[in-house]
Amino acid sequence: MPPKRMNDALLEEIADLLDEGFVVFVHRRTFESLSYPDAARWGEMKSLDGYETVRGRLESEADAFVEVGSLPSKVSFDIMEDFALQLEDARLRERLLSALHSRKPFRYFRQAVEESPEADAWLDFKRERIKAYALEVLADKWD
């Protein structure tokens, strides 16, 4: 389990990186985070400045870092679905659930929620769920 010294600022940073499509690692002693873009989401990134430096450090200090990884699409989908299901506004709930069952669920959900009065609530909900996901992964892998 991650130490209690892991503060909310670090969890916020990890959540931001996961949400932006990065693979995240946390140093066991210093709580420093390292990250690089997830190739599955961003394509080939080896030419990106700093990528080789981060990979080299992770390889040379493999035991020092815990891999949070990237945010799986299934987890992102579940977060969107859970948000939609907890809404009191039946019309918006149905619109979001319909978006999730479309050919491009991520795009259409994002568009529908951003056009709604629940846009800020969505961002808060998503952030808290991603932080909880990160804590769960770290708890499983820390020791």
* pLDDT at res. 40: 74
Q: Give the SS3 label for residue 21.
A: coil
User: Residue ranges of the domains in the chain?
Assistant: 8-70, 73-130
Type of residue at 91: R
Cβ contacts of 21 within 8 Å, gap of 6 or more: 37, 38, 41, 42, 70, 71
Type of residue at 72: P
Cβ contacts of 98 within 8 Å, gap of 6 or more: none
- Read off the pLDDT of residues 1-37 as tens digits, 9 standing for 90 and up: 565 667 889 999 999 999 999 999 999 999 999 998 8
- Read off the pLDDT of residues 53-109 as tens digits, 9 standing for 90 and up: 898 999 999 899 999 999 999 999 999 999 999 999 999 999 999 999 999 999 999
- Closest Cα to residue 6, out of 35, 23, 28, 34? 28
* pLDDT at res. 69: 93
* pLDDT at res. 41: 75
- Read off the pLDDT of residues 113-128 as tens digits, 9 standing for 90 and up: 999 999 999 999 999 9
Q: What is the DSSP letter of 140?
A: H
Q: Is-above-0.75 flag for pTM? A: yes
